[in-house]
Amino acid sequence: MSLVEIEDVHKVFPARQRGGEPVHALKGVSLHVNEGETLAVIGESGSGKSTLGRVALRLIDVDSGAVRIDGKDLGAMDANTLRRQRADMQLVFQEPFESLNPRMAIGAIVAEPLQIHQPQLGTTEIRRQVLSTLEHVGLPQSFADRLPGELSGGQQQRVGIARAIISRPRFVVLDEPTSSLDLSIRAQILALLAELQREYSMAYLFVSHDMHTVEWVSDRIAVMYLGEIVETKPTRELFDAPEHPYTQTLLSARLSPDPREPHAYKAFAGHKTVRDAVENQEPA
Amino acid sequence: MNAQSEELALEVRNLAVSIKTPHGVVHPVKGVDLTVHKGEIVGIVGESGCGKSTTIKGLLRLLPANSTVTADKAQLAGYGDLLATPVRRMREVRGAKIGFVAQNPFGSLNPIYKIERQFYELQKAHKTKVSRKESREIALRMLDGVGIVNPARVLDGYAHQLSGGMAQRVVIALATTLSPQLLIADEPTTGLDATVQAQILDLISGFVHQEGRSMVLVTHDLGVIAQYCQRVVVMYDGQVVEHGSVMDVMVEPQHPYTQRLIASVPKPGEKLDVSR
């Protein structure tokens, strides 16, 4: 049994304006995440990948289908059971600063999950764990008394990670955790995430639109296109033999930092939109 | 691969920017040289805060009044010295002589005017005689040229109705309407999907490689540099630490900062090394 199982999930968001079309964000999505592995979900904006990440944590309720962790159906849990379950499943956001309360000290932000999930620990023990977690994510303990605005983007994201791992979850959704960071900082954060994963054997659902990054970090990749998963494969296999036209388009649009490897994106030259390219391309 | 020549399009020597702040004077750009030949795309690469955007905003004179831009030379071919031009006359340069594509297209488009009016105002500002009808025809042609499927609908709508990729196409169409010889693009595809990024960059570079135009492309994405630029300038802390042909700099970087930058990009086929 996989740690997380998502089975035939549908989600429709109502139209935002009168007369608008409802958005069918997830159209029968199924996937599983094994213990300790990184499954990347990749797709263009609007493909439903962030919705999927939130559905996997039941931050959004599904219209139909099931989400299970450890075989337990999240949708069937009452509020109390779900709250207890949340210690085991956490989220790291794309925009580190937006996801930290600007008026709370770093120490208080990182302490919150423990105060909720393990209040019996007491203030002293919680403080001790907060300081050791900060150190663990590469921040000095003195940062506990600082405010988010005093930190750089990379440091803020380390705080977001500390908050996510302090309750020792087995499953973490990473929603574009590095896309707002500079290159060298990005590499550091990815290395930190990989290190923590190995240490605590956490499973990651890594939502991203960056092929370079997912190739670097993931064991398997699920490709989303227009609300559906069109292809799921071990990372190497997906890169070596992409089957779906959208995956092929996505791969051909990668820009190698090595000028000796020109990109092969000509595959959809002449098509005005990605959709046009995908639908009118002959599968290789 | 294109009509690159030895003829200069832009020559900047020792450009410096200083900004007066309540906490004293800061120097985000400390003497930058930039040479752009006709037919060539020159990339400026560096991380946040290295001064790459400030350099080009300084050139275009788009910095706030508390800043000072100096240079030994800022020669634009077919025009003259940019820094010798009074700020109020820079409006004649921007749009007609230099097209500018900023990172956030929604910052470049006026939210309360229809797209059609923005094409009209651009043309009216530079040419005295253009009728609404002519302007609309030109706009339709430009939007079609940047791959917009239904140009008439876009013209009759507002910026907020467009997706990021569509809005950036509109900005590119606007920036190229008056056929400027030099295009300056500041992170034109940051935040866009990979597929859309490749399309937008193909569009811009297609425009540049027609008739020996040139471009300065500011980006932090080394893939964009490697695939679209002929030469690159690497900036760090307001200075140029390395410059040269993309082949030289990206394949055999000399400066430790460039080496570190390139080493931090995930390479295809490589797994993350956790041992570091």
DSSP string, A124-149: HHHHHHHHHHHHHTT--GGGGGS-GG
What pLDDT was estimated at residue B263? 86
> pLDDT (tens digit, 9 = 90+) per residue, A241-251?
999 999 988 88
What pLDDT was estimated at residue B2? 47
The Cα A158–Cα A96 span in angstroms is: 8
Please check whether residue B253 is in contact with residue A281, taking contact to mean a CB–CB distance below 8 angstroms: no
The Cα B69–Cα B20 span in angstroms is: 12
CATH 3.40.50.300 region(s) of chain A? Answer: 4-241
Residue A69 has pLDDT above 50, yes or no: yes
Please check whether residue A117 is in contact with residue A163, taking contact to mean a CB–CB distance below 8 angstroms: no
**B275 in contact with chain A, both atoms CB, cutoff 8 A:** no
pLDDT tier at A279 (50, 70, 90 boundaries)?
Answer: low
The Cα B105–Cα A38 span in angstroms is: 34
Percent pLDDT > 90 in chain B is 66
Q: Which of B43, B217, B221 is nearest to A257 (CA)?
A: B221
Question: CB–CB of B193 and A265 under 8 A?
Answer: no
Fold type of domain A4-241: Rossmann fold (3.40.50)
What pLDDT was estimated at residue B200? 86
pLDDT tier at A277 (50, 70, 90 boundaries)?
Answer: low
The Cα B18–Cα B30 span in angstroms is: 8
Question: CB–CB of A255 and B273 under 8 A?
Answer: no
Question: CB–CB of B273 and A191 under 8 A?
Answer: yes
What pLDDT was estimated at residue A265? 56
Question: CB–CB of B195 and A249 under 8 A?
Answer: yes
In angstroms, the Cα distances linking A165 to A89, A130, A189, A199, B5 are 9, 11, 14, 11, 56
What pLDDT was estimated at residue A26? 95
What six digits make up the tokens of A31? 């996937």
What pLDDT was estimated at residue A212? 83
**B226 in contact with chain A, both atoms CB, cutoff 8 A:** yes
Residue A282 has pLDDT above 50, yes or no: no
Backbone angles phi, psi at B123, to 5 degrees: -70, -40
Please, what is the end-to-end C-alpha distance for chain B in angstroms? 39
What six digits make up the tokens of A48? 């439903």
Alpha helix stretches (DSSP H) within B127-228: 132-145, 151-155, 164-176, 194-208, 222-228
Residue A185 has pLDDT above 90, yes or no: no
Task: Report, at the CATH architecture level, how domain B1-91+210-265 is classified.
Answer: 3-Layer(aba) Sandwich (3.40)
How close B33 comes to chain A (CA, Å)?
23
Residue A2 has pLDDT above 90, yes or no: yes
> pLDDT (tens digit, 9 = 90+) per residue, B166-215?
899 999 999 999 999 999 999 998 877 888 888 889 888 888 888 789 99
Rg (chain A; Cα; Å)? 20
Amino acid letter at B48? S
Below-50 pLDDT ranges, chain B? 1-3, 274-276
Kindly indicate whether the ipTM for this predicted assembly is greater than 0.85, answering yes or no. no
Q: Residue B182: helix, strand or coil by DSSP?
A: strand
> pLDDT (tens digit, 9 = 90+) per residue, A251-272?
888 888 888 887 665 544 455 5
- Rounded to 10°, the helix B164-176/B194-208 angle is 10
What six digits make up the tokens of B193? 């999907």
Q: Which residues of B touch A212 (CB under 8 A)?
A: 223, 265-268
Question: CB–CB of B274 and A274 under 8 A?
Answer: no
Handedness of CA B195, B196, B199, B202 (dihedral sign): negative
Query: How much is the average pLDDT of A72-95?
Result: 94
